[in-house]
Amino acid sequence: MKNFYPIKFDIKNTIPKNLGRTGILKTPHGEIKTPAFVAVGTLASVKGLSPEDLHILGAQVVLGNTYHLYLQPGEDVVASAGGLGKFMNWQGPTMTDSGGFQVFSLGFAYKKGVSKVAKEAPTEAELEGKEENFSEHSSLVKIDDNGVTFKSHIDGSTHRFTPESSITIQEKLGADMIFAFDECTSPLAQKEYMKKAVARTHKWAKRCLDARTRDDQALFGIVQGGRYKDLREESAKYIASLPFEGFGIGGSFDKDDMKEVVELVNKILPEEKPRHMLGIGEVEDIFEGVQRGVDLFDCVLPTRLARHGVLFTKEGKYNIKKTTNKEKFEKVVKDCECYTCKNYTKAYLHHLHRSGEMLAHRLSSIHNLYFMMELMENIRRSIEQGNFAEFKKEFLERYKK
């Protein structure tokens, strides 16, 4: 097999008695200081923001969505533009996911409204006897051992992804870091189905490695297994044995079990390679992930909440749409130095949201992404200075009030 060395990861500082660390992830389009939050630009655009905005906010890396870019505008168009970065005029590092999450989001979750993380773990007794396998019974998605057949959410046309086609599409999209094609199931999935999904993910991982042709892209393997620790351990050991340049930790967690699962996985994965936690963006989860050795996080949460008028603050989430803000002519968040908070009032932002003005989404997204980038910078600093535990305790005590 051809040798691939498209990225280099240097660990700088560690958290005593924990797996957490800071590092420098060197890519063909620049360095990433880790731990880092990855801005999600689903369709080669972080909703409402320009690449220049992202740079000013301190974003280091942007992730595009393979499924969505395949449907619009098509990977060949992006390739003709010179790849994802040039297409969207982003000068820094880029990533693309594999399209595997759409197996989940267009399958069982599409019908049931289930996310990657279950708030409360169902008991085996509650799940017993259910015939749903949480993915392949959807009218939009059909899964088999060779790939996934799905219908476009745009026009209903039929398409198919395989491990090989996912790699081909991602190579044309041209991101610095790409992911192996996997099956992400619901956190409510029964163990028997999860076993099948893990086995499928492992077979697909090997096929993805065999299919790659570009030596300037890092390929990350994905660990699955849901809330079942024995399956997570099995998956981590197998994926770690393959020559990936980095690793992703797939979703399908129970909220209460996430910490144990992440620690279990990261104790197995090679220490010298970067680890990415897919689709996780809650503040508490980021702290717990960092402590347990996660280097990268991506999630649409900051911009999605922003569009609904929910702002991150150090005292927790704040709903700017509440009527109490109608005549509050004060800084949106008093101790924030983002463009929005330096220039606009609660009353104005409240008015924009209640009036349905597009500017509301932009200004709120600027604030929420600034919050995330500042949080990650402060987390890195606390690790460097040796006081991560104290910083985490103080921050979360204030945030959860």
Among the listed residues 254, 257, 295, 298, the single catalytic one is 298
In the chain, the amino acid numbered 161 is F
> Cβ–Cβ contacts within 10 Å for residue 378, how many?
12
Whether 298 is a known active-site residue: answer yes
Coil, strand or helix at 387: coil
Q: Which residues contact 105 (CB under 8 A, 6 or more apart)?
A: none
Contact 391, 359 (CB under 8 A): no
Strand segments (E) across 92-168: 94-96, 117-118, 141-144, 147-151, 158-161
Q: Which residues contact 205 (CB under 8 A, 6 or more apart)?
A: 163, 180, 182, 221, 222, 238, 239, 242, 244
Mind giving me the DSSP string for 234-251?
Answer: HHHHHHHTS--SEEEE--
CA distance 376 to 378: 5
Q: Which residues contact 141 (CB under 8 A, 6 or more apart)?
A: 102, 103, 106, 107, 110, 135, 148, 149, 150, 151
Q: What is the dihedral of CA 238, 225, 39, 209, to 10 degrees?
A: 30
CA distance 230 to 200: 16
In the chain, the amino acid numbered 271 is E
CA distance 366 to 50: 10
Contact 13, 383 (CB under 8 A): yes
- Structure-block tokens of residue 232: 């997570």
What element of type H or E holds 71? Answer: helix 66-71
Among the listed residues 53, 97, 176, 295, the single catalytic one is 97
Whether 97 is a known active-site residue: answer yes
Of 210, 211, 232, the closest CA to residue 222 belongs to 232
CA distance 292 to 288: 6
For the annotated catalytic residues, the residue numbers are 97, 298
